[in-house]
A and B are shown apart, each in its own frame.
Chain A
Amino acid sequence: MKRIYTIEDACIGCHLCEVGCITEHSLSKDPVKAFLHEPERPISRCTVEELHGGIISLSTTCRHCDEPDCLRACISGAIQKNAEGIVRIDTEQCVGCWSCVMACPYGAIQRNLKKKKANKCDLCPDRQSPACVDACPNRALVYREGSQK
Chain B
Amino acid sequence: MNYVIVGNSVAAVGAIRAIRERDQQGNITVISRERHNVYGRPLISYLLGGLINEKRMAYLPNEFYLQNRINLLLESEVVAVDTAAKKIKLAAGDAIPYDKLLLATGGDPFIPPIEGMSDKDRIFTFTTWEDAAKLKGIAPDISRAVVIGGGLIGLKAAEGLNLLDKPVSVVELADRVLSSAFDRPAGKIVARKMKANGIDVITEDTIVRIEGDGADISGVTLKSGDFIPCDTVVVAIGVRPAAAFLKGSDIEVNRGIVVDATMQTSKKDVYAAGDVTEAADFFSGQKNPMPIWPDAYIQGDIAGAAMAGEKKEYVGGLAMNSIEFFKVSTISMGVTNPKEPTEYEIHTYQDIQNYQYRKVVLQNNRLVGAVLVGNVDRAGIFSGLIREKIDVTPFRESLLTPDFGFLNLSRDIRDRLFAPQGKVTDNGHTERAAGH
Contacts and interface: CB of A to CB of B under 8 A. Distances in A.
Nearest to B300: A72
Given A95-B51, A105-B387, A106-B384, A8 B379 contact: no
B420 A7 contact: yes
Nearest to A107: B378
A107 B415 CA distance: 15
B294 A105 contact: no
A115 to B, nearest CB: 13
Given A6-B418, A102-B320, A142-B428, A107 B380 contact: yes
B227 interface: no
B379 A102 contact: yes
A139 B429 CA distance: 12
A35 interface: no
Contacts of B426: 139
Interface string B411-422: 100111111110
A20 interface: no
Given A58-B407, A76-B59, A142-B424, A103 B383 contact: yes
A143 to B, nearest CB: 7
Nearest to B295: A72
A7 B424 contact: yes
B421 A146 contact: yes
A97 B407 contact: no
A106 B426 CA distance: 26
A47 B415 contact: no
B263 interface: no
A93 B46 CA distance: 12
A60 B383 CA distance: 17
A104 interface: yes
A93 to B, nearest CB: 6
Contact of B294 (A6, A50, A60, A69): A69
A72 B294 contact: yes
A101 B379 CA distance: 6
Given A5-B419, A49-B403, A67-B301, A101 B376 contact: yes
Given A72-B298, A77-B60, A139-B426, A106 B417 contact: yes
Interface residues of A, number: 46
A144 interface: yes
B349 interface: no
Contacts of B417: 60, 63, 106, 149
Contacts of A58: 406-407, 414, 418
A49 B406 contact: yes
B59 A77 contact: yes
A149 B416 contact: yes
Contact of B43 (A49, A75, A142): A75
Counting chain B CB atoms within 10 Å of each CB, which of A47, A75, A92, A108 scores highest? A75
Contacts, number: 143
A95 B51 CA distance: 9
Interface string B182-212: 0000000000000000000000000000000
Counting chain A CB atoms within 10 Å of each CB, which of B40, B380, B414, B421 scores highest? B380
Interface string A43-85: 0000101110000111010010001011011011100000000
A60 B409 CA distance: 13
Interface string B23-59: 0000000000000000011110010000110001011
Contacts of A60: 405-406, 417-418
A96 B52 CA distance: 12
A75 B420 contact: no
A63 to B, nearest CB: 8
Contacts of B252: none
B407 A101 contact: no
Interface string B372-385: 00001111110110
B293 A51 contact: no
Contacts of A103: 294, 320, 380, 383
B380 A95 contact: no
Interface in B116-152: none
A26 interface: no
Nearest to A10: B424
Contacts of B421: 146
A111 interface: yes
B294 A51 contact: no
A19 interface: no
B328 to A, nearest CB: 11
B270 interface: no
B185 to A, nearest CB: 19
23 contacts: A5-B419, A8-B419, A49-B406, A56-B407, A57-B407, A58-B406, A72-B294, A73-B293, A75-B41, A76-B59, A77-B40, A77-B60, A95-B46, A95-B52, A96-B324, A102-B320, A102-B321, A104-B380, A105-B383, A105-B388, A106-B384, A111-B329, A111-B376
Given A98-B324, A102-B333, 4 more contacts: A51-B407, A72-B294, A111-B377, A149-B416
